[in-house]
Structure 1
Amino acid sequence: MSFDIKEAFLIFIRGLFMGSADIVPGVSGGTIALITGIYGHLIEAISNIKFGFLKPLIKGDLKGFWNGLLDEIDFKFFIPLILGIGVAFLTLAKVVTYCMEVHTALTFSFFLGLIIASAVILFRKIEKINIKHVIAAIVGLILTYIFVSLNPIAGDHSLIVLFISGMIAICAMILPGISGSFLLLLLGQYQYMLTALHELHFVELIVFVVGAVIGILGFSKILNYLLKNYEEITMAFLIGVMLGSLKVPAVQIAGSVGAGLSALLPCVVVAVIGFILIIVLETRFDYME
């Protein structure tokens, strides 16, 4: 197995962006995967993992196990991507949470620009709008708006709850427009898992990651099927999801700046910067098939 250093580095950078986005309630790593051109490849690569390589191992066939492992798992893609996500989680978690607490309005304005630009990019992928696309977008918008309007529940931090939370949150993290971090917030696990990450509580982290791995392996197969058979309707639904999720940054901005125009103007500028950044990123990154 040979690595292309340049390609691996670009995948690593995408992982950094995805990990940074997944830390933030209201922003999705799946959105970053989409705009940087790896979303379809990511979902297909995950859904291709069927654990068939375990059969030769049970029979003691190590060569067959290794060949099956290389055939099912795209290591050239996953290794730099997971490294990038991991580095972002370990190094940027404190930075992002600091920005959210100290510069709330500006931070969420930036996220607002990111989400709007991502919806625009998705819209451009639909060749011809029809009534099915409109209905799918409206359904996505309504469901997401209701979802983000829910109040967080009190968190039980037992290992089984963390395992289930990992399964649920990872499904949101790979969906453009749906924030896994926000889902963790609703489940009452966000602050707890952020603390576990800061303080390296390995038992809780491992249980959460195992739940996430099991969740993503199952959910990716559903997503892969939808993208292969109903791509434009799925994209329209995701546009609605993104528009519905705009309530999260909008509420945070409104609560921080109030009605003052002078305070709102910097937020608009930062949102425009976020919008332009995503549009530029989308043109700079090649799409991976």
Structure 2
Amino acid sequence: MLIRVLGGFLMALADSVPGVSGGTIAFLMGIYDEFIGSLNNIVSKDKEKRKAAVLFLVKLGSGWIIGMAMASIIINQIFEKHIYNISSLFIGFVLFAMPIIIMEEKESIVGRYYNIVFSLIGAAVVVAVAYFSVHGVLGNGIDLAWGHFGLGVGIYLFVTAMFAISAMVLPGISGSTLLLVFGLYQAVIGAVSSFFKLDFTYLPALIIFGCGVIAGVLTVVKVLSYGLKKKRSAMMYFILGMMIGSFYAIAIGPASLKENPQPPMTLETFNVWFFLIGGVVIFGLQFLKAMVDKRDAAKK
């Protein structure tokens, strides 16, 4: 229960800022396959599978809601004011996470180097998304308050949500980065923050966004689930490629800020201490996962 709630909480923190996906956190905590499987099984014809999926997602979702509430109100402001420190932290997350993933997926990675082409594709996708988040942002100035947007923006928001959820469940790329590409990051985070402050004028927009997320779960996530079961090696190489590409995404992230864009990260603005804190957090999560696995093994 604690692992599920904590996992959801940390996933929300990762999902709320451009850079690292909540899927990366799920992967590190050993709940990624269960997360994808639950999303896939929530519409399963098997009653037991559907029940288990709902129970898992309720636990994960409770932590996610708490994390997103905190992030939208507090973390986003910290991200704006201390962008280089936070970016250094995320680089630490990604870099220290990669060897752990390689070790855990050794069977599907070692000896199958022909799949490295999928790593190149994964890296290219993230780099392209990050590049356009800085040079091709759409929809600046969108107001999601009720009465301030029309049918076109509503459809745009729905479609964007479908793509954003696909990024959120993939380790390597943040759904927030994708929101930046479509020019909706500030609008969506602002709407979520206002909602948690009991301003319900943004509720219709959030409902539309939520429906888009559900539509994405029913379509895109099924494709991901199939890929992990049938083409796991290719998927792992693709995910690692996306994580490599996210170094570029994080480095140029400061330039994509709407209110106060900053120059991309350089060696001078890189903070080694926050980078090392990122490593400590990753290894701490891995230690926690190992302790839970040890306890579960002892019960069996």
| TM-score, structure 1 as length reference | 0.83
Aligned 8 A contact 2:164 2:175 in 1:
yes
1:12-44: per-residue Cα shift (whole Å, max 9, x none)?
111000011100111100111100110001111
Matches within 5 A, 1:100-249: 100-124=79-103, 125-127=105-107, 128-150=110-132, 151-155=136-140, 158-200=153-195, 201-249=202-250
Aligned to 2:258: none
Cα distance in 2, alignment partners of residues 79 and 52 from structure 1: 19
Gaps of 5+ in 2: 143-148, 196-201, 255-261
Task: Answer yes or no: is 1:255 the counterpart of 2:263.
Answer: yes
Aligned 8 A contact 1:49 1:72 in 2:
yes
SS at match of 2:3: helix
Aligned 8 A contact 2:162 2:212 in 1:
yes
Cα-Cα RMSD? 2.2
1:241-267: per-residue Cα shift (whole Å, max 9, x none)?
01011112223579377564xx54xx1
Cα distance 1:119–1:258, how it changes in 2: closer, same or farther (>3 A)? closer
Cα distance in 2, alignment partners of residues 12 and 259 from structure 1: 36
SS at match of 1:275: helix
Cα distance in 2, alignment partners of residues 96 and 188 from structure 1: 20
Cα distance in 1, alignment partners of residues 23 and 165 from structure 2: 10
Cα distance 1:178–1:160, how it changes in 2: closer, same or farther (>3 A)? same
Aligned 8 A contact 1:108 1:249 in 2:
yes
Task: Answer yes or no: is 1:81 the counterpart of 2:79.
Answer: no
Give the CA deviation at 1:71.
4.3
Cα distance in 2, alignment partners of residues 277 and 133 from structure 1: 30
Aligned 8 A contact 2:173 2:242 in 1:
yes
Residue 277 of structure 1, aligned match among 277, 281, 288: 281
Give the CA deviation at 1:113.
0.6
% identity of equivalent residues: 29
1:153-210: per-residue Cα shift (whole Å, max 9, x none)?
1256522111111111101100000110010111111111111111111111111011
Aligned 8 A contact 2:126 2:249 in 1:
no
Point out 4+ residue stretches in structure 1 off by more than 6 angstroms: none
Cα distance 1:259–1:30, how it changes in 2: closer, same or farther (>3 A)? closer
Task: Answer yes or no: is 1:12 the counterpart of 2:39.
Answer: no
Based on CA coordinates, which of the two structures has the bigger radius of gyration? 1
Give the CA deviation at 1:100.
1.4
Residue 16 of structure 2, aligned match among 12, 23, 39: 23
Cα distance in 1, alignment partners of residues 288 and 96 from structure 2: 15
Aligned 8 A contact 1:136 1:236 in 2:
yes
Q: How many residue pairs end up in the alignment?
A: 262
| TM-score, structure 2 as length reference | 0.81
Give the CA deviation at 1:52.
4.2
1:82-116: per-residue Cα shift (whole Å, max 9, x none)?
11111111122232212211111111100111111
Give the CA deviation at 1:130.
3.0
Task: Answer yes or no: is 1:91 the counterpart of 2:70.
Answer: yes
Does 182-191 or 244-253 show the bigger shift? 244-253
Does 44-53 or 11-20 show the bigger shift? 44-53
Aligned 8 A contact 2:92 2:275 in 1:
yes
